[in-house]
Each structure stands twice: as C-alpha cells, then as structure tokens.
Amino acid sequence: MTVYPLPAADLKGEGMTSQRARDRLVAILREGGIRDPRVIEVIRNLPRHHFIDQALHSRAYENDALPIGHGQTISQPWVVARMTEALIEFGIPQKVLEIGTGSGYQAAVLAALVPQVFTVERIEALLRQARRRFRQLGLTNLRSRYDDGKLGWADEAPFDAIILTAAGDTIPTRILDQLGPTGVLVAPVGSPSRQTLIRMRGDGQGDFIQEELGAVSFVPLLGGIG
C-alpha cells in the first residue's frame, strides 16, 4: 500500500478540522459499511478542509456533499470512500483515469493508493484550484488536464480503472473504449432524479460484467469546456 505523506503543519487543522473531527468521520463511514482499511486510512489522513472554501471548513468532516462553486460539489465522504473501495476491490490498478476533477479530493484519495492518476476537468477555474492543492500536498503521481471529460484522455489509454464523478444516462463510448480489457469502471448513471452507482469489469474477451452498487446523487455529466 502506498503510504500517504503527512500534510504540512498548516493543513492539519484545529477544532472542527482537527484529527478528532476526522476520526469521527471515519467512525461514521465504518458504520455506513466502509470496510477497506486502505481507504479508511487515506480518508483519516487526507485534509478534506483543504479542498473547500474556508467559510465551510467547520463542515469539512461532516458526511455531506458541499458546494465548491460553478454549480459543482465535493462529494459526500461516504460516496468517495465507496467508489474508491469498488475501484480497488479486485486489486490496486496501476493507472486510473478520473472524469471530473472538481475540488480534487477524489483524485487525491486515489493518488494515495494508485501509482498513476490522470484526471480531466471541463471547468478551468476549478482545475486551477485543484492543481494548486495537488502541489501543496506534494502529489507527484497525479496529472491533470483541462478538456471535455466525455472525451477521456485517449493519449494515455488504456487505463486499468476509470472513475466518473458526474452522472450521465449512459457511459460515453469514448470513455469505455479507453478501459483496458480487464479494467474496472465505477460511475453514477441515470437521470438527475434517479441515479445508480454501477461497476463494470472487463472479462478480457470484450464483454463487461455490470453490478449495481446503490443509489447516489451526482451533478450531471456535461460535454464541452467552460
């Protein structure tokens, strides 16, 4: 397991962002069924308050999605943990593509566990903020790109795993084509009123095994750049 580097002293937090607050969040995640000790450890150590505006720091370790501007949110910690668990359950992938960088929190969680993370964001202002956070945390195994997420990152394909942090009615074919033959894809699928978290696993023969992992709520998967 990759050991997540301890954040700099000014990122450790006090009061509502202290280690005690993070430990309370971990207890909530365990009660909610999160079991993978690798995921638990990363969530415990990663400073989530670093990925949101200072005005919301007191809520950073609540198990809630929070606004990050531009109509986007940082996902609920339980959802981040569940998606990460689902992605690594059958082994640590060497190379992961994330569609929808957002705040950068999900990408940072993955970068603590996976040798290479590639993340694409369509909103330039969000990506600039995320890149600054990645630099401050010293995440050198993470590459980011400003582009239409529906296009994926074809130049770096194939990927051992792909994760989408926004929901469409279906998985875009161009993204699915970038998954390796035995790769794993985790994504929310459905309409704004009804979404399901799914996992697709390649069988090595060109087909996929699909599982439903439960109901979720994500922002819509949009094309283009903004």
**Using omega within 30 degrees of 0 as the cis cutoff, is the peptide bond preceding 158 cis?**
yes
Q: Please give the Cα distance from 131 to 66 (Å, whole number).
A: 19
- CA torsion sign for 16, 128, 145, 75 is positive
Element (H, E) at 95: strand 95-99
What b/e string do you get for 156-180 counting C-beta neighbours within 10 Å, with b at 16 or more? Answer: ebebbbbbbbbbbeebbeebbebbb
Strand order across the beta sheet in which 142-146 lies = 142-146, 116-121, 95-99, 159-164, 179-191, 194-202, 208-216
Element (H, E) at 215: strand 208-216
Query: Among this protein's residues, is 75 annotated catalytic?
Result: yes
Q: Catalytic: which of 18, 58, 75, 217?
A: 75
Whether residue 225 contacts residue 79, with contact meaning beta carbons closer than 8 Å, is answered with no
Provide the annotated active-site residues. Answer: 75
